[in-house]
Amino acid sequence: MRLQARQLESHLAEPLSPVYLVYGDEPFQREQVCHSVREAAKAQGHDSREVMHVEQKFDWSALMEAANALSLFAEKRLIELHIPSGKPGTEGGKALQAWCDNPPMDTVLLVIAGKLEKAQQSSKWFKALDQAGVVIPVWPIKPEQLPGWIRERMASRDMQPTDEALALLVDKVEGNLLAADQELEKLRLLTGGGRVEAEQVATAVSDSARFDIFGLVDVALAGDASRCARMLFGLRSEGVEPILILWALSREIRSLCGMSQLMQQGQSAGQAMGQFRVWQARQAPVQAALRRYNLKRWQGLLWQAGELEKVLKGQAAGKVWDELLKLTMKLSGKPLFTVARG
């Protein structure tokens, strides 16, 4: 039986299935689903838990031995079988099918895997698990779904964010659900719940290097080149990885390319920013940047960011921090020029 993660709560209120397969490449959501299964199993008397990790040279006979041994005891148990690769191999596939053909009494098998390709989902072992129990795929949160996901997580903590506070959180976590959940817990402790303003979010993360990087981006967009340079040097002295700075700059330049293209097609700056969900407190620096360059120039900056990535990876010559300074200065409207040698 296939279930979506959102359907799991009502399902777990009923007697548990003998087998669960949870798979997907989004670790936070996958762990949340597995945690729910564990808690439900414990609530239904499965107090004993055994964990097995399928690694190279894993002995699959151990799984069947565990099944047979459990039948000798009256206690209910939960067996977790971690298969990170999602590839149990021929022997493992047969062992899983054998388990599903005759599931042990008073035992729940929780199989946890990473992303499964179409071929794996068509395998006999996958179909056996699907037929014997419950299969729960975990899909990554799409960018357009992230605000709703964060709002739901905040509601569960008795927090109601303003639109600007929500937009700031979305900008900060950029799809990293574990980081998002950690930030929300910190906000709950700092605010005590209730209405959450953008200023509270900014204060809560003011000591975060990643938020300082976003500050660097906004200062560059506003055209304050000297402050931008000071912030960049400060980040360097604090040991911030240049790849994080390049990530933030590239992300912003890519958005500006998109907004500039919409404006070239006849939309106003306000309409373009609305489509790209630029929250109100950032609209002034973003609009200043959009006035500074046309689409072709933004595409040039995006190309420059791509070349800088090659320098970071050692695929091109150059000094990373010098190139970062050039990119941020150009973003701020004050490009650095090299002196030609005769």
pLDDT in tens, 222-258: 999 988 888 898 888 877 888 888 988 998 999 999 9
**What domains are there in the chain, each with its CATH number?**
5-137 (3.40.50.300), 143-204 (1.10.8.60), 209-331 (1.20.272.10)
Helix, strand or coil for residue 265? coil
Number of neighbours of residue 189 by Cβ within 10 angstroms: 11
pLDDT at site 97: 93
pLDDT at 211 over 60: no
pLDDT at site 339: 39
pLDDT at 84 over 70: yes
User: 309: Cβ–Cβ under 8 A, 6 or more apart, which residues?
Assistant: 246, 250
Amino acid occupying residue 28:
F
Most confident stretch, 7-11, 72-76, 250-254: 250-254
pLDDT at site 336: 72
Q: Which comes out higher in pLDDT, residue 282 or 151?
A: 151
pLDDT confidence band for 337 (50 / 70 / 90): low
| pLDDT tens, position by position, 90-120 | 999 999 999 998 888 888 999 999 888 888 8
Q: Which two tokens stand for residue 196?
A: 């959450």
pLDDT confidence band for 205 (50 / 70 / 90): low
pLDDT at site 137: 93
Number of neighbours of residue 318 by Cβ within 10 angstroms: 13
pLDDT at site 96: 93
Query: pTM (2 decimals)?
Result: 0.56
Rounded mean pLDDT of 10-14? 88
